[in-house]
């Protein structure tokens, strides 16, 4: 027999399968306790080591066609954003796992790497809420390995890292995003990344296209990014709010402002339909006027026009809710968030007088914080959002 063309017999395959089943059974119920680390490198080493120990061999390693294990960026469970450290964990896991095992090759997620992959490593991060003393505050990092086709979980690991060692600043795409997209699309992605039931192959397929588009956007290649986000949107059946947002952002950054406004209008419609329209209006400190930072003075009028138009066309009544981060007293933040919500509602009525009587405003303060770190920076920006919720019209 030619040693370069090994073709295992049926009996040999059954033996390998039996060994694999027994090995997995022996590990069943022996879920390792989470580990705690003072450095991000330590947490990454722990995650990679535990996954390498659990990665199956046997039948999955017999051929060379699908030996690649793809690794997606680790995203924030609370805000749905990919952060600087989330990308760092992804790239470090690819390198570290390559050093620890020769069972597979490891690559960051892309459509090409996914086409050659039987397994995918998916990860999420949960940031700690506001705590007394940073030394007691840890970010939770979870990694799970799933079969791309069937969705079966074949390995998992959890590690904690001191929050001050985790850079929760969103990457450029998410920093520029006009909305917080923690809706159904995010919940489905979170299910996949935590090993719960979900259409794994479909979700990862869309994620791969978005990952490629995001790379182009972050590099400033906006024409390529726009084309790729459009492809991702098609792959999602027109449902991906993340792809729609990328389409808007790429058009705006590329100077195609009419196309950008049309894309933003589609994004507003889709977000309203999903029941989750949360806008990133940046206000002046302790005030109700919009911040005149960067190109926001050009984007905000566009956003307001489209929001007012789509609400009016839908014939809907909305509650405008202002939110605040966990800094300052509860009473102060309640008042400030209410004033900001009222200011936004008035601006929409000024644009579309037909909305008069159909908008109400309220301040939530920090009662509905999502991150809750109270850092007042990019990490907890979602806690300073303005939300629009459809409510029954009175009378």
Question: Does the domain at residues 30-170 carry the CATH identifier 3.40.50?
Answer: yes
Residue ranges of the alpha helices (H) in the chain?
A: 10-27, 40-54, 84-100, 111-115, 172-176, 184-193, 200-218, 222-235, 241-253, 257-274, 296-314, 330-351
H or E element in which residue 146 lies: strand 138-147
Query: How far apart are alpha carbons 249 and 226 in whole angstroms?
Result: 8
For the ranges 71-85, 130-144, 289-303, 337-351, the lowest mean pLDDT is seen at: 130-144
Q: What is the pLDDT of residues 245-260, one digit of tens each?
A: 999 999 999 999 999 9
Structure tokens at 244: 């729609």
Helix, strand, coil shares, percent, the chain, to 5: 50, 20, 35
pLDDT at 304: 95
Give the list of residues 6+ apart from residue 106 with CB closer than 8 angstroms, or none: 68, 69, 70, 71, 93, 94, 95, 97, 98, 121
The whole-number pLDDT of residue 64 equals 56
Written as six digits, the tokens of 299 are: 């984007």
User: What residue spans in the chain does CATH classification 3.40.50 cover?
Assistant: 30-170
Q: Using the predicted structure, report yes or no on whether residue 147 has a pLDDT greater than 90.
A: yes
Which two tokens mark 316? Answer: 């809907």
CATH class of 276-395: alpha beta
Of 268, 173, 169, whose CA–CA distance to 212 is shortest?
173
More confident residue, 372 or 209: 209
What's the pLDDT tens digit per position in 222-244? 999 999 999 999 999 999 999 99
Q: Where in the chain is the domain with CATH 3.30.1330.60?
A: 276-395
Residue with tokens 């947002």: 245
Structure tokens at 91: 């790239």
Residue 114 CA to residue 116 CA, distance in Å, equals 5
Return the DSSP state at 382: G
Task: Please state, rounded to an integer, the average pLDDT across all residues of the chain.
Answer: 86
């Amino acid at each position: 027999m030619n040693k370069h063309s090994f073709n295992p017999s049926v009996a040999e395959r059954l033996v390998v399968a039996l060994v694999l089943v027994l090995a997995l059974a022996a590990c069943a119920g022996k879920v390792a306790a989470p580990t705690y680390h003072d450095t991000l490198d330590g947490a990454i080493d722990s995650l990679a080591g535990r996954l390498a120990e659990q990665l199956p061999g046997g039948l999955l390693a017999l051929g060379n066609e699908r030996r690649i294990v793809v690794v997606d960026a680790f995203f924030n469970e609370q805000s749905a954003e990919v952060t600087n450290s989330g990308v760092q964990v992804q790239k470090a896991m690819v390198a570290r796992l390559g050093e620890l095992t020769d069972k597979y090759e490891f690559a960051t997620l892309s459509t090409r790497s996914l086409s050659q992959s039987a397994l995918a490593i998916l990860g999420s991060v949960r940031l700690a809420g506001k705590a007394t003393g940073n030394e007691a505050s840890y970010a939770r990092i979870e990694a799970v390995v799933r079969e791309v086709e069937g969705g079966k979980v074949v390995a998992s690991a959890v590690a904690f890292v001191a929050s001050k060692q985790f850079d929760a600043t969103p990457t450029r795409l998410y920093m520029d995003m006009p909305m917080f997209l923690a809706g159904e699309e995010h919940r489905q992605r979170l299910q996949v990344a935590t090993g719960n039931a979900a259409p794994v192959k479909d979700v990862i397929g869309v994620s791969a296209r978005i990952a490629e588009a995001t790379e182009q956007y972050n590099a400033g290649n906006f024409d390529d990014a726009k084309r790729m986000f459009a492809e991702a949107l098609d792959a999602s059946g027109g449902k991906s709010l993340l792809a729609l947002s990328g389409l808007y952002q790429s058009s705006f950054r590329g100077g195609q402002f009419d196309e950008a406004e049309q894309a933003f209008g589609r994004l507003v419609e889709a977000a309203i339909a999903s029941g989750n329209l949360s806008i990133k209006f940046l206000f002046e400190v302790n005030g109700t006027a919009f911040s005149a930072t960067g190109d926001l003075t050009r984007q905000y009028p566009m956003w307001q026009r489209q929001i007012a138009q789509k609400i009016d066309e839908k014939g809907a009544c909305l509650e405008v809710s202002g939110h605040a981060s966990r800094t300052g007293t509860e009473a102060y933040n309640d008042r400030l968030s209410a004033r900001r919500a009222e200011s936004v509602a008035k601006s929409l009525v000024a644009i579309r007088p037909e909305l008069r009587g159909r908008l109400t405003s309220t301040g939530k303060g920090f009662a509905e914080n999502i991150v809750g770190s109270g850092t007042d920076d990019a990490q907890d920006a979602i806690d300073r959002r303005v939300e629009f919720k459809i409510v029954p019209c009175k009378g």
